[in-house]
Structure 1
């Protein structure tokens, strides 16, 4: 990896994270999203809506001379940040090399770096804004993510993130529960866990909210295909292996049809929005 200003070498996505063992192995997450890079943008309606709402929550007075798009994906919000902070220097980090390869030709950032939110390959106090939309739900050790954010932010710098919590894809989860006892839907943290971890961190909580967003699909296949094209299909430990039998698929369709609304089959996402700030240095007399 070439030398970058504000970037430490040799601190990529290595080391075994500790925390919620029920969350997916990030190597599988990286591989899944790398495979989905080409199809991602075509089905990323929710991701764009959530990211735009997160952008709207950024403090208006924030001067981001160097900003970081963490979990940049295909670079959609890397470009949006570059347009917002025209005079700033942009860094884009993602654990999925396939996403970085897709994002690089579209510019927006000065540097594109393969890295892990729990082991950021950045120097201390090197960025003014850490922006991360719908990426941190894949991190098993969220307190470490907050510690890393605090480490790389300059005093007064801002961490703005969106994530997912319990209740996401609840209709699909409940439908599978009616069919069998296997894990078919990605697990997420409780919103109360986000509240606690943010409150006890070294960062000041400026805002932390949960909002539901509902997508509608004409049928179950459209929903599952969308999840696969996003790279966000079932990545949990304990998921069933092999093909799902036709009888179980029919039973799942029948169970999910009970949730049908006039606009189609609902898929609810419980989105967490957080804006945190690193306290300014206190100069003592």
Structure 2
């Protein structure tokens, strides 16, 4: 009965708040990964760079916020573009903040939750968040908080992940035992619905596939661990994974091999929203 229950939780189409990771586990996992993160963050740097390129050219924020700032790579990029003194870096992982703070990029580094931002209303002109919001269970609440802290006319720019991410690994595990071994993500349609209902103007919202290649399965799983992004979902099997199952997984994943190596595809969501200029709700 337990196995059947865990198998039933594996469907991406049935992602719910309870199916997403506990944010305390997310914070602890990324804190542990602070020292190793940048060495394996190829995708994260590329996605964040693409998100920067999507910012309105005319945008000149008096104050900006890097939400889910991690090791501070894009905090420093934003500081170079808009001024370090105008910047705030917020992350739920204390270990990431300790790693990033000495390198600068922002005036303040703050521990905080995207679903309950530790900021006053109408406080920033730009809220930038790259590959962090997929870990938030209540995405409408994230959007509500973004709208609250943005000044009228302010911009929310985010990248996140949706269903189809790491599908090769998910399907390979499904062929082995059907348990939950891969993080779940929302459907792209959920992002569309939430953004449309946010009260902000949707300037752009797109999904784009990006594929990395690895020489073998161990390289992929080590990379996920070093990022702090290994399986954090409820329903994941406890204990060590047996050698026979690992061999079966390797064989299943090898069927995906391409000339460049074993593929790991990420379905990336890019969104740029703007608080309406006349929206003065929450403005003191």
- Shorter-chain TM-score: which interval? over 0.9
The corresponding residue for 1:3 is none
After TM superposition, list the pairs within 5 Å mapping 1:115-264 onto structure 2: 115-264=112-261
2:129 touches 2:158 (CA, 8 Å); kept in 1? yes
Give the structure-1-normalised TM-score: 0.92
CA distance in 1, matches of 2:242, 2:279: 63
For structure 2, the 5+ residue unaligned runs are 1-15
For structure 1, the 5+ residue unaligned runs are 1-18
Regions of 4+ moved over 3 Å: none
SS in 2 for 1:116: coil
2:121 touches 2:148 (CA, 8 Å); kept in 1? yes
Q: What do residues 50-70 of structure 1 show as CA deviations (whole Å, max 9, x unaligned)? A: 000000000010111100000
Q: 1:78 aligns with which of 70, 75, 78?
A: 75
SS in 2 for 1:150: helix
The corresponding residue for 1:269 is 266
The corresponding residue for 1:90 is 87
> Are residues 145 and 175 of structure 1, via their aligned partners in 2, closer, same or farther at CA, if it must alter by over 3 Å?
same
- Are residues 1:53 and 2:47 paired? no
SS in 2 for 1:21: helix
CA distance in 2, matches of 1:232, 1:249: 19
The corresponding residue for 2:8 is none
Q: What do residues 67-95 of structure 1 show as CA deviations (whole Å, max 9, x unaligned)? A: 00000000000000001102761000000
Q: What do residues 236-264 of structure 1 show as CA deviations (whole Å, max 9, x unaligned)? A: 00101110000000000000000000000
The corresponding residue for 1:15 is none
CA distance in 1, matches of 2:143, 2:122: 14
Give the structure-2-normalised TM-score: 0.92
2:78 touches 2:84 (CA, 8 Å); kept in 1? no
2:85 touches 2:107 (CA, 8 Å); kept in 1? no
Structure with higher helix content: 2
The corresponding residue for 2:275 is 278
Of 248-257 and 86-95, more deviation after overlay is shown by: 86-95
> Are residues 195 and 121 of structure 1, via their aligned partners in 2, closer, same or farther at CA, if it must alter by over 3 Å?
same
CA distance in 2, matches of 1:87, 1:41: 21
Deviation for aligned residue 1:281: 1.5
Deviation for aligned residue 1:181: 1.8
Q: What do residues 121-149 of structure 1 show as CA deviations (whole Å, max 9, x unaligned)? A: 00000000000000000000000000000
Deviation for aligned residue 1:120: 0.2
Q: 1:65 aligns with which of 56, 62, 65?
A: 62
1:23 touches 1:187 (CA, 8 Å); kept in 2? yes
CA distance in 2, matches of 1:33, 1:135: 11
> Are residues 278 and 88 of structure 1, via their aligned partners in 2, closer, same or farther at CA, if it must alter by over 3 Å?
farther
Count of residues in Structure 1 that have an aligned counterpart in Structure 2: 265
2:152 touches 2:279 (CA, 8 Å); kept in 1? no
